[in-house]
Every structure is written in C-alpha cells, then in structure tokens.
Amino acid sequence: MKDTFDFIIAGGTLLLPGGPVETDVGVRAGRTAAIGNLGAASAAQRYDAKGLTVMPGVIDEQVHFREPGPTHKEDLESGTRGAVLGGVTCLFEMPNTDPPTTTEAAINDKIKRATGRAWTDFAFYVGASPENAEQLGTLERLPGVCGIKMFMGSSTGSLLVADDANVARVLASGTRRVTVHSEDDMRLTERAGMVKDGADVSMHPEWRDVETALRCTQRLLSLARAARRRVHVLHVTTAEEMDFLAQHKDIATVEVLPQHLTLAAPECYQRLGTFAQMNPPIREARHRDALWKAITAGIVDCVGSDHAPHTREEKARPYPRSPSGLTGVQTLLPLMLNHVAEGRLTLQRLVDLTSAGPARIFGIANKGRIAVGYDADFTLVDLKAKRTITNDWIASKSGWTAFDGMGVTGWPKATIVRGHVVMRDDQLIEKGIGAPVRFQETL
Ligand code: DOR
C-alpha cells in the first residue's frame, strides 16, 4: 500500500543529528513520520525544497514582548509574526511585562492571550521576586511555563532579586534550570553616578563593566552549587565570565546573543548611539572575540535574541533616560547564517545552538531535532541568498533594527510549525496556530 502523508518536504538537505542528508521528510498529524526517499508516497501538500537546507525549527529562548503592558512597543501577535518572518518556530517569552509574570493568574493570562494569535509555539518564564520565591517550585511546573527568570541586576521593568539571601531562596524553590540576568545590582547602584544626565552612551559598558558581570556570575555559581541547582546564564558578554563558566559546565549553561557576536564598542555607540544600548552592554572587540572562542570551545550552549523592543522615540531620549534593548527575534537567524557564510561557525554548530541546545537546556519534549516522532518544526533556508536587512522588513511594532542596511548571505525561505507553513518566501501564510510548548515530565 502506498504511504500517505499530510505534507512532504522533498529533496532538501536535511540537517539530521548525524549530519546533512539530501532526502525527503514526511509529516503526519504535525509530527515527523518518515525520513528518506518518499518519491512513491502521496501527500495532501508537497514542498519542493531542492537547493534549500532544512534545519530543525529555530528556537529562540529569550524574547521580551510587551503584552500585557506597553503593547505600543510589541504584543504577542506582532512579536511572533516577526519571529516567523525570521525563521523562528518556537520561542520563550520573558516576565518583565506589566504586570510582571509572577503568579499563576499572570501565566494563564499570557497563555490565553497567545492562543489563537501566536504565529509560533510558545512558553513563558515565571519572574522570580522576593515575594514569590517560595511558590516558584509550583509555578515553574505549570503548563506553558519554560522555567524561572531571575534578574540579579535591574534592567527594563521592576523585577529584581539582588542580594544573596533572596537569590538563595529562589534557587531553593523548585528543580528546573533557573535562567539569570547576571549583573551585580549593588555595584550598578554604587556606580550609577557615572551616567548622570548628559553622559555619553559610550559610558554604558563602563558603568555596567566587566566586574559588574563577573562578580554577579561568581556569586550566582557559588549559590547555585550550595543549592545544587542548575542555572542558565543569559547573554554572557565578557571574556572573564567565559573563562569562569568553563569551570562550571556541570551546573551552568550559557547563552550568547547575535548583538554581542556581531557589534563591538566603541564603533557601535559612535554609529548607533542609544540604539546600541542594551543590558548587559555591547563591549569591545576583545570580548566579542572571546564569545566566538567560547562558541568554538563548546562553552556556549545556545544563541537567543533577547528581542527587547522600544520605540524610536523612546530610544532617542538622551542617555541614560533612553531604555535598554534591541529588537532581535527576526534578525537572529539571518545574522547567524551570515556568520556561517563568513566562516565563524559551521551550520551543524548553528543547529546545536538554535535547536538542540535549547531543547537540552530546558528539557523540551519533541522539539530541537529532525527525527521521527518529533514535532514537524522546520526552518528552510537558502544559504546562498544575498539580502539586505532593512527596517521596513521588521514586523516589530517598534519598526527598527540595529542591523538596518547590513548585507547578509543566507536567508530563511520558509517557517514550518508542526507541519503548518506559516511563512514562505517572506509571505505570511497561516496565522494563529501557535501552541504552548511541552516539557519532559521528569525534569
Ligand atoms: O537591554 C535589555 N532590555 N536587557 C534586559 O535585560 C531587558 C530588556 C528589555 O526588556 O527591554
């Protein structure tokens, strides 16, 4: 009997766990059902992927959308729309919304808002605070929750767990990996005088300096060891932290961002001003080089975007009243493909960082690789396409990218979420099919 599928992606180069293979993949009921020559099989829908590379769906484990709260910058619909235009199939959204996502009601509200509107699959972080520390063990297990987020340094929003005693309370509650914004808040407060009104934005990495980041990461790791709790250190920016984290890989995973891998101080501040301002900051080239070395050395576990939209008017305020954050969910993959084209990492390592890595860190069920039984999430890319990133391509309500005008080689051609083609050739196709991500039960 002839095999039948809902959907066949034919003739692309599949990036399988063992390496690239030019073959077909068959999808049934949203799952990958067969890998191999399916020339004789029938399918309701077929995608000719000859000449294209089929990656496992790209997972962005760090985005800040602004719903509920300042939805004039972004909402769950616009944020996930930008994601699929950029080849992202699944994302985890941060809790510094208004109100912050610190309760079961706030989590359920976000899931309700995303359902029927999100273009990607999604999960939400619970924000840690001194008030909810003892409830985190329960909150982290709610459906649709990817884990806990703890801000040890103040950034956008009011979430903060600054001192060791409260950090220890957070780490003691629950068992899943805790993600951390690691900048020492006491040092930030002590040195805030450096960036009074009238200071230049190039002071941003001097105020939020290497010591601010390193000291916090050292405190975090010593508290995590005492609590026997696994941590995920977000957006690591310094050579010094990478050396330190390499000694703690049994308990700490590491994220880096395309912004920190692509831009460097002082050039970015001279060219972009406050539009390069983010936390932790973009630093000098020696740190950027160290992040690349850490990718090669395997210290880095994943690349996320830290998509953090603010309007142009807000960003144009004089420093330091300008908010920190850059858009990124839509440019994550084009920038990283361009780094592949320029020889900074292999395509296989990119898949490790954007699919397999997040799946391993967070214990995602059925995502992160192309395999029979896994969700049929695919990002189809044209590795040879030459395109220019422009503001008018950006779906974010904020409408800008720090990479406007940058030519890149490599571009997402289609975004497929559980067998639904949601983006093809820069066109949006099937909306609102995003669903909460599932996680392994035992973690
Ligand atoms: O630059 C940043 N912006 N860093 C953060 O930690 C938060 C983010 C935001 O939400 O704007």
Segment 134-180, tens digit of pLDDT: 999 999 999 999 999 999 999 888 899 999 999 999 999 999 999 99
CA–centroid distance, 37 to ligand 1, in Å, is: 46
Structure-block tokens of residue 364: 């995602």
Q: Is 155 in the pocket of ligand 1 (CB under 6 A)?
A: yes
- 298 contacts: CB under 8 Å, gap ≥ 6: none
What does the chain come to in residues? 443
CB of 68 closer than 8 Å to CB of 113: yes
317 CB neighbour count, 10 Å cutoff: 12
pLDDT at residue 442, rounded to an integer: 66
Minimal CA–CA distance to 245: which of 230, 257, 262, 263? 230
pLDDT at 1: 59
User: Rounded to two decimals, what is the model's pTM?
Assistant: 0.98
Task: Say yes or no: CB of residue 88 within 6 Å of ligand 1.
Answer: no
For residue 94, the model assigns a pLDDT of: 98
**149 in contact with ligand 1, CB cutoff 6 A:** no
Q: Is the previous residue joined to 436 through a cis bond, with omega within 30 degrees of 0?
A: no
Domains (range + CATH), the chain: 4-54+371-389+405-431 (2.30.40.10), 57-362 (3.20.20.140)
> Residue 291: helix, strand or coil by DSSP?
helix
Grouped pLDDT means (10 residues each) for the chain, 443 residues: 91 97 98 97 97 98 98 98 98 98 98 98 98 97 97 92 97 97 97 92 98 98 98 98 98 98 98 98 98 98 98 97 98 99 98 98 98 98 98 98 98 98 98 97 68
Distance 155 CA to ligand 1 centre (A): 6
Q: Respond yes or no: is residue 184 known to be catalytic.
A: no
C-alpha to C-alpha distance for 269 and 201, rounded to whole angstroms: 7
What is the C-alpha to C-alpha distance for residues 106 and 111, in angstroms, rounded to an integer? 9
Hey, which of 61, 96, 398 would you mutate to test ligand 1's pocket, going by the most ligand atoms within 8 Å of its Cβ?
A: 96
The pair phi, psi for residue 184, each rounded to 5°, is -75, 110
Question: How do 31-36 and 19-28 pair as beta strands?
Answer: antiparallel
Interatomic CA distance for residues 204 and 96, integer angstroms: 21
Q: What is the pLDDT of residue 196?
A: 87
